[in-house]
Chains A and B, each alone.
Chain A
Amino acid sequence: MKILLMGNPNVGKSAIFNRLTGTEVIISNYPGTTVEFSRGSIKRGDTRIEIIDVPGTYTLEPTCRAEEIAVRILENEPDSIIVNVLAAINLERSLFLTMQLVEKKRPMLVVLNMWDEAAHAGIHIDCEILQTMLGCPCVPTCAISGQGIKHMVEKLGEARIPVLSSAPERRWDDIGRIIVRVQTVRHRHHNVRERITDATVYPFPGLVVAGIILLASFAAIRWIGEGLINAVFEPLFEQCWKPVAIHLSAAMGGRGIVHDLIIGKLIDGQIDYGQSFGLLTTGLFVPFGAVLPYVFAFYTVLSILEDIGYLPRLAVISDVLMHRLGLHGLAVMPMLLGFGCNVPGILSTRILETRKERFIAATLTAIAVPCMSLQAMVAGLAGRHGVRGLLLVFCTLGVVWVVLGVILRRLVKGESPEIFVEIPPYRFPDLRSLFKKIAIRIKWFLKEAVPFVLLGVFIADLLYMLGVIELAGRILSPVTTRIMGLPAEAAGAIVVGFLRKDVAVGMLAPLNLTLKQLVIASVVLSMFFPCIATFVTMVRELGIKDMAKSAAIMILSSIVAAGILNLVLPAAF
C-alpha cells in the first residue's frame, strides 16, 4: 500500500509524517529537479505501508517548482491512497486543494490537523457532515501531541473515492457552501500570541526585534558551541585521539612522505592540531573538533527559529535590502544557513525560483558569508590584536556583500520575482520534526562537506610536496605584494588557501604581519575562493559554466577589496 500525504504548506504535514515513520526516512530529490521530498514506511500487521511526504502545495495548477513536483508525484503514483491534511484552524483555505484532489477520483482520507488549536480558537467543525458531503472519511488529529494519529492509521483501509465534484470556476462557491454547514466559530478576542505575530511584521518594532533576535541567536550559538568544545570535543581529541595518533606516528617511523601526509609534522615530538597539518591530525581536528560543535549549535538555533515561524517574518523585514541585491526576502534563508557551513547554504538556494536569483545568492554566500570554520580562522588571524581587526574584517565582508549584490543585480540577466510567502502563525515547535531537521542538516555537513575537506587536505599536501604551491606563489607574488601589500613570503600561504585555509592561516601566523596585513590577508582568504566542499557543491548546483563565472567574480572582487583596503587603511591603526 502506498500513501501520499498532501496538503498546504504549514499544516503540520511533516509532523504527521514524522509521527508515522521512524528514523529510516529517505530524503530525496525528485528526478531531474532539486525539490526535496521524504519517503518512509510503517508496518501494519503484515502489510508494509509506504508513505510519501509530498511537498506542500496550495493548488494542483502549479505556480512554483515545489508545486510542480507535488503534481508530478501525484500523477506518477496512480495506485496510491491520498491522505489530504487540512488545517482545522484554516478550513476554508485548506479545502481549495481538497476540491482539486476529489476530481482525481482516487481513494482519499481527509485529516483535520491542529484540531486542538482550532478548538482553542473557538472553531468547531462537524466531522460527520463534512464526511457525508465529501464522501470520504474525515479524522481529526493533533500531530504535535500525537492525538488521533492511531485512529487515522486505522481508518486508512476505509479510504473512499469522494462523491463530491466541483468545477474550477465554482470551487470557492462550493467551499463556501461546505463551510456554512460544517463550521461554527464562536466570537473571541485577540490573544497575546496574535499580538506578537502582528508586532514583528511592522517596520517598527519589527526591525528592533529582528536585531535583538539575531544578536541573541549568535550569543546562544557561541555559548552552545564553546560548551560542547570544552566538555566533549577537546577532551576527546586531546586525551583519546592524540595517544592513538602518537602510536601511529611511532609505528610509521616518525618521518617520511607518507608519515607527513597522514600524521603531519611533529612539533617538539608532539602532535599539535594547529600546526601538524596531517590528514589524521589537523585534517580531522578542523572539521570535527573545531567546526562540528559550532555547526551543531548553529543549526539547532536556526531550526528553532524556523519552526517557531520567525523566518518568513525576517524575510519580510529584510526584503527591501534583498531587493537591492536582485533577490527577495526569502533569500535570507540560504544566507543564514551559510553562516553555519556554506554547503547547506548553497544547497538551499534551490528555494529561489530563477537562475538569476540562485546565481547571485550562491555567489554572495561563497564570497561574503563566512562559515563557522572561516570565522574561527579569521578570529585566530585578525583577532590576534583584539576585536578591532576582527570587526574590520566582518564589516568589510558586509560591505562587499551589499556592493557586489548591487552590481550583480544589474549584470546578471534574468528575472528577480517579488516575494510571495505565507506568514504562518507563531507556534511551539514540534520537537520530533525539530530533532529530525537538525540531524538532517548535520548529516549534510558530514556527508557533503567533510569528505571534500579531507580530499582538499590531501591534494594540498601533495601539491606542496611537489613544489607546485611554491612556484604558483612566486608567479602570483606581484599581486599579493603590490596590490594587497602583503610580504613576499605570504604569497605561498594565499595559494595554499585555495585548497586549505587552515594551512594558510598556519603559514601566515609566524610571518609577523602588521594588523593591517592580517586584516587584508583575512579578507582575501575569506573571499577569493570557497573551500573545496563549497566549490564542488557550487559546480553541482550552478553548472560548470556559471561556476566559472562565479569563480572569476570571487577572485576579481577579492583583489579589488584587498587593494582598496591597502590604499585606505593607514599602515598602523
Chain B
Amino acid sequence: MSVPVSMSALKAGEKGIIAAIRGGPGMVRRLNALGIYEGKTVTKVSAQWMHGPVIIRVGATDVAIGYGMAGKIIVLPEAKALP
C-alpha cells in the first residue's frame, strides 16, 4: 500500500492518483478546467531547484504550477516509475 504524498514531495518521473486537492475553490476550479481533479492519474514531469515550479502531466497536457500549489495536491503514488 502506498502512503499519500503531496505533488511537491513526489519524485520527478513518478505517477500517482489524485486523492485530494486541499486548495480554495478558485484553485480547485482552475485545476479542474485543465482536467486535474480527484481520481485522475498525474505524472510529475519535473521540479526546479529551490522550491521552484513543478510540472505535472495529465493526459496530453503539461502544466507548470507553483511549489505551494503542488503541495496542496495529494496523490497516492503508483508503484512503478515512468517507462
Interface size class of A (residues with CB under 8 A): 20 to 34
**Chain A CB within 8 A of B81 CB:** no
Residues of chain B within 8 A of A63, CB atoms compared: 26, 29-30, 33
Residues of chain B within 8 A of A320, CB atoms compared: 48-52
Residues of chain A within 8 A of B55, CB atoms compared: 201, 316, 423
A90 to B30, CA, bound (A): 18
Residues of chain A within 8 A of B48, CB atoms compared: 203, 316-317, 319-320
Residue of B55, B60, B64 with highest tally of chain A CB at under 10 A: B64
From A61, A90, A315, B64 is in contact (CB under 8 Å) with A315
Across the interface, do B34 and A418 meet the contact criterion of CB distance under 8 Å?
A: no
Across the interface, do B45 and A61 meet the contact criterion of CB distance under 8 Å?
A: no
A552 to B82, CA, bound (A): 53
Residues of chain B within 8 A of A198, CB atoms compared: 45-46
**Chain B CB within 8 A of A258 CB:** no
Within 8 A of A (CB), among B20-35: 26, 29-30, 32-35
**Chain B CB within 8 A of A89 CB:** yes
**Chain B CB within 8 A of A96 CB:** yes
- Give B60 Cβ to nearest chain A Cβ, in Å: 5
Known: A421-B63, A423-B63. A319 touches B34 (CB 8 A): no
Residues of chain A within 8 A of B29, CB atoms compared: 59, 61, 63
Interface size class of B (residues with CB under 8 A): 20 to 34
Across the interface, do B53 and A316 meet the contact criterion of CB distance under 8 Å?
A: yes
**Chain B CB within 8 A of A50 CB:** no
From B26, B60, B65, A90 is in contact (CB under 8 Å) with B60
Across the interface, do A316 and B64 meet the contact criterion of CB distance under 8 Å?
A: yes
Residue of A92, A315, A418, A422 with highest tally of chain B CB at under 10 A: A418
Known: A93-B34, A172-B37, A203-B48. A418 touches B63 (CB 8 A): no
**Chain B CB within 8 A of A420 CB:** yes
Residues of chain A within 8 A of B68, CB atoms compared: 418
A162 to B59, CA, bound (A): 26
A202 to B29, CA, bound (A): 28
A396 to B13, CA, bound (A): 40
Known: A96-B35, A198-B45. A420 touches B61 (CB 8 A): no
A418 to B35, CA, bound (A): 19
Residues of chain A within 8 A of B63, CB atoms compared: 420-423
**Chain B CB within 8 A of A312 CB:** yes
**Chain B CB within 8 A of A259 CB:** no
Across the interface, do B45 and A201 meet the contact criterion of CB distance under 8 Å?
A: yes
Within 8 A of B (CB), among A405-442: 417-425
Residues of chain B within 8 A of A424, CB atoms compared: 62
- Give B55 Cβ to nearest chain A Cβ, in Å: 5
**Chain A CB within 8 A of B17 CB:** no
Across the interface, do B33 and A89 meet the contact criterion of CB distance under 8 Å?
A: no
Known: A315-B64, A316-B64, A319-B52. A422 touches B46 (CB 8 A): no
Residues of chain B within 8 A of A317, CB atoms compared: 48
Across the interface, do A418 and B61 meet the contact criterion of CB distance under 8 Å?
A: no
**Chain B CB within 8 A of A13 CB:** no
Chain B: CB-nearest residue to A190: B83
Residues of chain B within 8 A of A452, CB atoms compared: none
Chain A: CB-nearest residue to B12: A202
**Chain A CB within 8 A of B19 CB:** no
**Chain A CB within 8 A of B69 CB:** yes
- Give B22 Cβ to nearest chain A Cβ, in Å: 15
- Give B72 Cβ to nearest chain A Cβ, in Å: 10
B contacts, CB < 8 Å to A = 12, 26, 29-30, 32-35, 37, 45-46, 48-53, 55, 58-69
Complex A-B: 27 CB contacts under 8 Å = A58-B33, A58-B34, A61-B33, A63-B26, A63-B30, A92-B60, A172-B35, A172-B37, A198-B45, A201-B46, A201-B64, A203-B46, A319-B52, A320-B48, A329-B64, A418-B67, A418-B68, A419-B53, A419-B64, A420-B30, A420-B65, A420-B66, A421-B63, A421-B64, A422-B62, A422-B63, A423-B63
12 more A-B residue pairs beyond the given contacts A93-B59, A319-B66, with a C-beta to C-beta distance below 8 A: A58-B34, A61-B33, A317-B48, A320-B49, A320-B50, A329-B64, A418-B65, A420-B63, A420-B65, A422-B64, A423-B64, A424-B62
Sorted from nearest, which 9 A-B pairs have the closest CB atoms? A418-B66, A59-B33, A58-B33, A423-B62, A320-B52, A63-B30, A90-B60, A93-B35, A316-B64
